[in-house]
Chain A
Amino acid sequence: MAGPSTYEPKGAVMRWMDTRLPIVRMGADFMTFPTPRNLNYWWTFGGILLLCLMIQIVTGVILGMHYVAHIDHAFDSVQRIRRDVPYGWLMQSAHAVGASMFFLAVYMHMFRALYYGSYKAPREVLWIIGCLIYLVMMATAFLGYTLPWGQMSFWGATVITGFFGAVPVVGEGLQQWLLGGYAVDNATLNRFYSLHYLLPFIIAALSGLHVWALHVTGSSNPIGVSSKVKTDTLPFHPYFTVKDMFAVTVFLIIFAFFLFYLPDALGHADNYIKADPLKTPPHIVPEWYFLPFYAILRAVPDKLAGILLMLGAIAVLFVLPWLDTSRVRSMRFRPIARWFFFFFVIFCFILGWCGAGVPDDYAIKIGDGGITFYRLGQISTLYYFAYFIVILPILGLIEDPVERPASITQAILDYGDKPEPEKVLVPAE
């Protein structure tokens, strides 16, 4: 896909450099990288995610200059950042809102990959690296949420580290090893801060591998037909740099709306109460981006089974390339699968809704009874797993896909906007 490099160093200095460290060549090859010309806006989230990571690292390093990782000072130091540090309000809000925006973008990116079959051969490794990035992102977000040392920070950390306590035999020891004590305490806060600082750089390294793998196989595209002829692709710059920049602008408008008008809307009010190990908040919920997994965790009334189910919900993504038996990548040409996919998206939202609800409350009221969040969460969990381990494997074998265009170029010639035929001026007689 990448093809031989077309970079020609200009001038003696550039030639000298090119034979020693061909970094300019690498940049030039990135810019001229042949990219399918039919990419739609769902393909702009890669660039948006790169921006998100940069925002988090820059604001995070700055927050680290003012934050104090000690149980007696952490909460107050975050309040000091918000009130007293010059532009601290901006840095803290950008970091907190930025985390939500990061997850928003990564979910869009993942749903795109699911719909257009971007995980299929030859992009399995690309997809798996993406899953790893998502996993490290989740860990980073969880560790970071502990740092402000509010009630949700403390109790969230208690519940999540409790997962490790469910491991048979070694569970309690493992949990106390992670905490550095009998319960979440100063030792825990310190190490969480250290790891929260480390993991973003792991994400950056994995992103490097992700882009490397992408540049070996080339981008997938909305019709899922591999690039075949020269007219199927366009150089990355200026066509897709400009498209990405437009998408980034729209994304930043949404980001700015939350940042400047609703900086706390995505957080939880209880986190403005300092952590109290003697009092659990009446209703513990994770951040919105973990809610679907929280609902899966609570879908079974057994501790270990709940954790295994939740881990399974992520693990199943790693093996997805081998679960989906259909050779057709894009769901545009899979008339049945696309409906199952839309229901999958809906159930993901329902899972999120169930994760936010109290298990015994009614999600849907029918007369005196109804369907509780617990029951609805179970139904949605069932669909979540069925989609991956029943529907996709079977559907690939029995579904008749719609006929696909021969190439990207052909698809555009057949269905795209055609230039209007030139008007032939007939001289008046």
Chain B
Amino acid sequence: MAEIGLIHHDDIVEDDGKRDFIFLLAGAAGAVGAASIVWPLVAQMGKAADTLALGSIEIDIGQIAEGEQLKVLWRGAPVFVRHRTAAEIAEAESVNLADLPDPATDADRLVPGPDGALKPEYLVQVGVCTHFGCVPVGEAGDYDGWYCPCHGSHYDTSGRIRKGPAPRNLDVPPYEYLSDTVIKVG
């Protein structure tokens, strides 16, 4: 009350124009501050430096006999290196691209060797079903390639999706030939 020299909050007359600016400025500064605190809380869940460091491996593919497959753990997931038979290569190359849900030629899924030529006998791919990440079983399914037991995706002898719920072909990891028989994945 006025007679005791104090003004009650309800009796304050606000200068709204000036207040709006102060509110906006304070709010914006607060939001930036809050975001800079929240970001480390969110980012800590990402891949740690030691996880990232385990990025690449070398595989000796010379030891794989024809018709066999090598399974190697790379970044916590299996990599399939299959030494394909002539029949499998022929089957992979003879497919009509229009029949494929995720069109790719067999050659698209290979990497040139040290001499610059493709080595169709070695197929390297990430052995993780593109549906929900199960490991497909080799030499199985309706297309003689891989079959994922989880939800019934069929892949052909080039690892291309042919039937079932998986959206993409099996991924081809980044890799290169170090020599005729050694590849570096990652």
Binding site for B on A (CB under 8 A): 155, 158-159, 161-163, 165-166, 176-178, 180-185, 187, 191, 277-284, 298, 300-304, 306, 358-360
Chain A residues with CB under 8 Å of B119's CB are none
Report the interface size class on chain B: 20 to 34
Contact yes or no, A278 B133, CB < 8 A: no
Tell me how far the C-beta of B105 lies from the nearest C-beta in chain A, rounded to whole angstroms: 24
**Which residues of chain B in 131-186 are interfacial with respect to chain A, using CB atoms and an 8 Å cutoff?**
131-137, 148-152, 164-167
Binding site for A on B (CB under 8 A): 45-48, 51, 71, 73, 75-78, 128, 131-137, 148-152, 164-167
Contact yes or no, B152 A282, CB < 8 A: no
Assess A183 versus B134: contact at CB under 8 Å? Given A284-B149, A302-B167, A303-B165. Answer: no
Tell me how far the C-beta of A87 lies from the nearest C-beta in chain B, rounded to whole angstroms: 35
Contact of A277 among B48, B73, B132, B149 (CB under 8 A): B73
Number of A-B contacts (CB under 8 A): 88
Contact of A284 among B73, B134, B136 (CB under 8 A): B134
Q: How far is the CA of A360 from the CA of B165 in the complex (A)?
A: 13
Tell me how far the C-beta of A191 lies from the nearest C-beta in chain B, rounded to whole angstroms: 7
Contact yes or no, A187 B150, CB < 8 A: no
Contact of B132 among A162, A178, A182 (CB under 8 A): A162
Contact yes or no, B132 A159, CB < 8 A: yes
Q: How far is the CA of A358 from the CA of B78 in the complex (A)?
A: 25
Chain B residues with CB under 8 Å of A281's CB are 149
Contact of B152 among A162, A181, A184, A359 (CB under 8 A): A359
Contact of B45 among A180, A185, A282, A284 (CB under 8 A): A180
Chain B residues with CB under 8 Å of A185's CB are 51, 76
When C-beta atoms are compared, the residue in chain B nearest to A305 turns out to be B165
Contact yes or no, A187 B48, CB < 8 A: yes
Contact yes or no, B51 A182, CB < 8 A: yes
Contact yes or no, B134 A155, CB < 8 A: yes
Q: How far is the CA of A161 from the CA of B48 in the complex (A)?
A: 18
Chain A residues with CB under 8 Å of B51's CB are 180-182, 185, 187
Chain A residues with CB under 8 Å of B134's CB are 155, 158-159, 280, 284
Assess A298 versus B76: contact at CB under 8 Å? Given A162-B133, A191-B45, A284-B134. Answer: no
Tell me how far the C-beta of B52 lies from the nearest C-beta in chain A, rounded to whole angstroms: 9
Tell me how far the C-beta of B131 lies from the nearest C-beta in chain A, rounded to whole angstroms: 6
Chain A residues with CB under 8 Å of B131's CB are 162, 303
Tell me how far the C-beta of B47 lies from the nearest C-beta in chain A, rounded to whole angstroms: 6
Tell me how far the C-beta of A76 lies from the nearest C-beta in chain B, rounded to whole angstroms: 20
Chain B residues with CB under 8 Å of A158's CB are 132-134
Chain A residues with CB under 8 Å of B148's CB are 280
Tell me how far the C-beta of B151 lies from the nearest C-beta in chain A, rounded to whole angstroms: 6
Contact of A302 among B48, B75, B165 (CB under 8 A): B165
